[in-house]
Amino acid sequence: AQTVTQSQPEMSVQEAETVTLSCTYDTSESDYYLFWYKQPPSRQMILVIRQEAYKQQNATENRFSVNFQKAAKSFSLKISDSQLGDAAMYFCAYRSDTSGTYKYIFGTGTRLKVLA
């Protein structure tokens, strides 16, 4: 069974600085997708970035980028120029389409605090 691990329960970053959130996963499949979701205090899940496993190029979305290391099964999120609005819970998620269920498996989350 696939698992997703986020080893950092909480992280802090100074406003305007850069922070990296870690995520590792375990799977025997070769075709899958990885996601980072943000959950602010409102509890609405917001997609931050996604990565297709077959793509070697790391995904980027403005200030958000990932370091995808397929062999190491690592998928970290880098937030540059951190802003106060980035403070939230961040969840790493895995999805395999192989079984046809399209289920997401979420990590335990990392709470990000942004210090002014």
Partner 1 sequence: GAVVSQHPSRVICKSGTSVKIECRSLDFQATTMFWYRQFPKKSLMLMATSNEGSKATYEQGVEKDKFLINHASLTLSTLTVTSAHPEDSSFYICSARVGWDNEQFFGPGTRLTVL
- Residue 114 structure tokens: 């942004």
43 binds partner 1 (CB under 8 A): yes
Rounded to the nearest whole angstrom, what is the least distance from the CB of residue 18 to partner 1 in the complex?
25
62 binds partner 1 (CB under 8 A): no
CA distance 16 to 9: 21
Window contacting partner 1 (CB under 8 A); options: 12-20, 36-44, 63-71, 74-82: 36-44
103 binds partner 1 (CB under 8 A): yes
42 binds partner 1 (CB under 8 A): yes
Binding residues for partner 1, rule: CB under 8 A, are: 33, 42-45, 47, 50, 91, 95, 97, 101-109, 111
